[in-house]
A = this chain, B = another copy of it.
Amino acid sequence: MEELIKRILSFRDQRDWKQFHTPENLSKSIMIEAAELLENFQWDNNFDKEKVMEELADIMIYCVLMADSVNVDIIKIMEDKLRKNSEKYPIEKAKGNSRKYTEF
């Protein structure tokens, strides 16, 4: 992953795109790619795996760029959030139900 992150940042820098990559613009970009992913499921579940893979990759790449733009370690924030989620969703309460923790 670390190697890949370096390559993503280098891809950006070679094109001199950092100037466009404000946290706000990247947040919009993640949103736009997330909608393109959702488009594969708009009317039914017969999705094209190839397209899904590409859109999912686009979202992740923008997430890596976003993490860099706000200067956080993307692995670390995922670890932290997973720990928080474990507390918000204790196994005994969350098991087998999809309710939000505020509705337990």
Residues of A within 8 A of B (CB): 1, 4, 7-8, 11, 14-17, 19-20, 22-25, 27-32, 34-45, 47, 49, 52-54, 56-61, 63-64, 66-67, 70, 72, 74-75, 77-82, 84-86, 89, 91, 94-96, 98
Contacts and interface: CB of A to CB of B under 8 A. Distances in A.
A91 B14 contact: yes
17 contacts: A1-B1, A4-B82, A11-B86, A15-B91, A23-B45, A23-B47, A27-B38, A27-B41, A28-B38, A29-B42, A30-B37, A31-B35, A32-B35, A44-B98, A54-B77, A56-B63, A60-B78
Copies of this chain: 4
Nearest to A54: B81
